[in-house]
Chain A
Amino acid sequence: MRDRLGLFGAALITVIVLAAVLAPWLAPYPADAPDPANNLLPPGAEHWFGTDYAGRDVLTRVLYGGRTSLVIVVAVLTVSATAGVILGVVAGYAGGWLRDVIMRVTDVFLAFPALLLSLALAVVLQPSVTTVIVAIAVTWWPWYARLAASVAASIATRPYVDAARCLGVPAPLIVVRHVLPNSLTPVLVQVSLDAGGVILTAAALSYLGLGAQEPTAEWGLMVQQSQSLFTTNWWVVTFPGLAIMLTAFAFNLLGEGLRDALDPRRVVK
């Protein structure tokens, strides 16, 4: 049953990624072509998700919004996981004062709720998609650093690492050839578990006006721009919100499925 939910998540993500990648071909209208004569049309045959205050097709903008979200997710996770793993593996393998320093620094970053630190950073930087990526990546890497450090510390005591050390293999080479590859699995599981959180954080920052700016199609921004129209024109807020929720939902299901599949303790049960 767990697998079924996980597979469902994987299928959903495939659909979402395909829709985002193929948006220019799938979308029935241009992404940014205001048509004030046809603004705020309810969903119908011409516009499945209706049109927004500027007369733009909501379905089209939801599809293009997926591209923005996926770019943010991939960028944030790549940057933060790379930085976190490098620092974490070094800390875990080296131990001693180096480990203490790196771990105390991660403690400080982890003392801020992620969204709050991102928010503070986004306020002092200029609002843009890049700002969102930087602001989230800065708050996300310590989690990977901590995880990678604990895994690397346990790997550093394995016999094959001892053997390599006795053979005179230099420490940097041991880290790269033996410790790093064996530390990656738990980090990758965590990355897949975090994708949903990144989507939600990015949407929240954009909703607060700190992220993507007009005319970029971004789900959080779409909700913010139309929130005052919710009572009279439900579709302008409903569809972008549903898109955020479905994407985060799909990533969360997949992440849980992967975690259970790769955690031998759980497979036994």
Chain B
Amino acid sequence: MPRYVARRLGQALLVVAGVVVLTFAIMRMVPGDPAVAFAGPKATPAQLAEARERFGLDDPLWVQLWNYVRDLATGDWGTSLRTRQAVLDDLYVAFPASLELVGTALVIAVVAGIPVGVLAARHKRRLPDLGVRATSVLAVSVPVFWLALAVQTVFAGRLDWFPVAGEYDLTLDTTSPLTLWTNITIVDALITGNWPIFTSTLEHLVLPALVVAAYPTGVVAQLTRAALIEESGQDHARLERSLGFGETAILTRFALRPALNPVLSLIALVFAYAIVNGFLVEAVFNWPGLGRYAVQAISYRDTPAIAGVTLLVAMVYVLANLLVDLLQRVVDPRVRLR
């Protein structure tokens, strides 16, 4: 196990190094001179030269890459052209809000997707299965920004059941200010017992979280179904059947646990996908997370901000994959033997 962990860690570090180089390469592809973009169109040649000097644009590429890596390592992720703040500070505020949204969505996806998958597997090739399969394919086919707009218009606009946008009612900041611990609003509100902000956040979460959950729920349901059907054809299922267990009992008591293993490893993939899919939902619901930050950065051509978001999400993705790989060896003894 320790040797495996070390090898897997080394692999992850190598990938992170590649991620940094690729991000650097993309950001250097910006058409036009970054010095002109910084100094403005009316800059004098002297100001331009100063900007070139400041960004080290006259250095050879490998020196620039080295400086970039050194800056990243020392916590200097550049300055956002839009907010004029350090990108890392912006991310520090935005990332927890994204986690809050995507975390809620993934909980919904697991809680809803697994039972639905069991239902489909239990009634394989009959009407409930067809319905579940068609609905889950539909859920992964719907453009998430459009679903967000539709849900917002109907349930917040027309019916007025939920707030239209935002993370919580900002007027509460004056009446019951929130003490920050984790920067995740709903968690902080819960541990400090700030009920007004807690309920307000919960109300604001419902619609965007359901929209973000659509895709992962469909994927989890489909995979649970497929894994259960595969598992219920195994020898152990035949034995259980001959012992007189019913199909439902075989699925839920014996097949579900081994079947959950691929579902678990899928969660890491879906997690990263959901964060990025959540970008569009955040933009529609004005959720103060990474997505809104990135989308606002787009119209400003705010490359340092985009690079920051890209790096952060890629690193989170690598980390999530690493954790799932390690966790799988703990949960499923069969993986250890391979």
Residues on A lying within 8 angstroms of B by beta carbon are 1-2, 5, 104-105, 107-109, 111-117, 119-121, 123-126, 196, 200, 203-204, 207-210, 220, 223, 227, 230-231, 234, 237-238, 240-241, 244-246, 248-249, 252-253, 256, 269
Q: Which residues of B contact A (CB under 8 A)?
A: 11, 14-16, 18-19, 21-23, 26-27, 29-31, 125, 129-130, 133-134, 137-138, 140-147, 149-150, 153, 157-158, 229, 233, 272-273, 275-277, 279-280, 283-284, 294-295, 297-299, 301, 303, 306-307, 309-310, 313-314, 317-318
Count of chain A to chain B residue pairs whose CB atoms are closer than 8 Å in the complex: 148
- Contact A208/B141 with A113-B317, A245-B146 known, Cβ cut-off 8 Å: no
In the complex the two chains form, is B306's CB within 8 Å of A245's CB? no
Contact of A120 among B134, B147, B306, B317 (CB under 8 A): B306
Known: A112-B313, A203-B145, A245-B146. 20 other contacts (CB 8 A): A1-B129, A1-B130, A5-B137, A107-B14, A107-B18, A112-B19, A120-B23, A123-B301, A123-B303, A125-B31, A196-B140, A200-B144, A204-B144, A210-B298, A223-B146, A244-B146, A245-B141, A248-B143, A249-B137, A252-B141
- Is A113 within 8 A of B276, CB to CB? yes
B31–A126 contact, CB under 8 A?
yes
Q: Which of B141, B150, B283 contacts A196 (CB 8 A)?
A: B141
Given known A209-B299, A210-B298, contact A220–B138 (CB-CB < 8 A): no
Enumerate the 8 nearest inter-chain pairs by beta-carbon distance, A residue then B residue, closest first.
Answer: A108-B18, A241-B146, A248-B141, A249-B141, A113-B272, A113-B276, A115-B276, A244-B143
Q: Kindly provide the distance from the CB of B191 to the nearest chain A CB, expressed in whole angstroms.
A: 30
Specify which chain A residues have a CB less than 8 angstroms from the CB of B309 in the assembled complex: 116
Is the beta-carbon distance between A249 and B138 smaller than 8 angstroms?
yes
Which of A2, A104, A204, A269 is within 8 Å of B145, CB to CB?
A204
Query: Are the C-beta atoms of B280 and A121 separated by less than 8 Å?
Result: no
Where chain B touches its partner, the secondary structure class is: helix
Name B140's closest neighbour in chain A (CB-CB): A252
Contacts of B233 in A (CB 8 A): 269
Least CB distance from B231 to A in Å reads: 12
**Residue among A104, A126, A200, A238 making CB contact with B14, cutoff 8 Å:** A104
Please determine whether B298 and A209 come into contact, CB atoms closer than 8 angstroms. yes
Point out which of A112, A230, A231 has the most chain B C-beta atoms below 10 A from its C-beta.
A112
Known pairs A104-B14, A112-B19, A227-B149; A120 contacts B307 (CB<8 A): yes
Shortest CB-to-CB span from B202 to chain A, Å, is 25
27 A/B residue pairs, CB under 8 Å, sorted by A: A5-B130, A5-B137, A107-B18, A108-B15, A111-B16, A111-B19, A111-B314, A112-B314, A115-B277, A116-B276, A116-B310, A120-B306, A123-B297, A123-B298, A126-B31, A200-B144, A203-B145, A204-B145, A208-B283, A209-B298, A220-B145, A223-B145, A223-B149, A230-B153, A241-B146, A245-B138, A246-B141
Indicate whether A124 sits within 8 Å of B140 (C-beta atoms), given known contacts A108-B19, A209-B299.
no
Whether the Cβ atoms of A124 and B30 lie closer than 8 Å is yes
B15 near A117 with CB under 8 A, answer no
- Which residues of chain B come closer than 8 Å to A121, judged between CB atoms? 26, 29
What is the bound-complex CA distance between A123 and B297, given in angstroms?
9
Please determine whether A105 and B18 come into contact, CB atoms closer than 8 angstroms. yes
- Residues from chain A with Cβ under 8 Å of B310 in the complex: 112, 116-117, 119-120
Q: How far is the CA of A209 from the CA of B145 in the complex (A)?
A: 13
CB distance from A237 to the nearest CB of B (A): 6
| Residues of B contacting A234 in the complex (Cβ-Cβ under 8 angstroms) | 153
Contact yes or no, A124 B280, CB < 8 A: no
Nearest-neighbor residue (CB-CB) of A244 within chain B: B143
Question: Contact: B31 with A111, CB < 8 Å?
Answer: no
Which residue of chain B has its CB nearest to the CB of A4?
A: B130
Chain A residues near B279 (CB-CB < 8 A): 115, 119
Q: Which residue of A lies closest to B280 (CB)?
A: A204
CB closest residue in chain A, given B146: A241
Return B82 CB to nearest CB of chain A, in Å.
Answer: 13
Most buried by B among A119, A210, A220, A256: A119
- The answer for the CA separation of A241 and B143 in the assembled complex, in Å, is 7
Q: Complex Cα distance A184/B273, Å? A: 27
Q: With the chains together, A104 CA to B14 CA distance in Å?
A: 8
A187, B296: Cα distance in complex, Å: 37
Cβ contacts under 8 Å, B314 to chain A: 111-113, 116
Contact A220 B143 (CB under 8 A): yes
B143 touches A245 (CB 8 A): yes
- List residues of chain A with CB within 8 A of the CB of B313: 112-113, 116
Expressed in whole angstroms, the minimum distance between the Cβ of B282 and any Cβ of chain A is 12
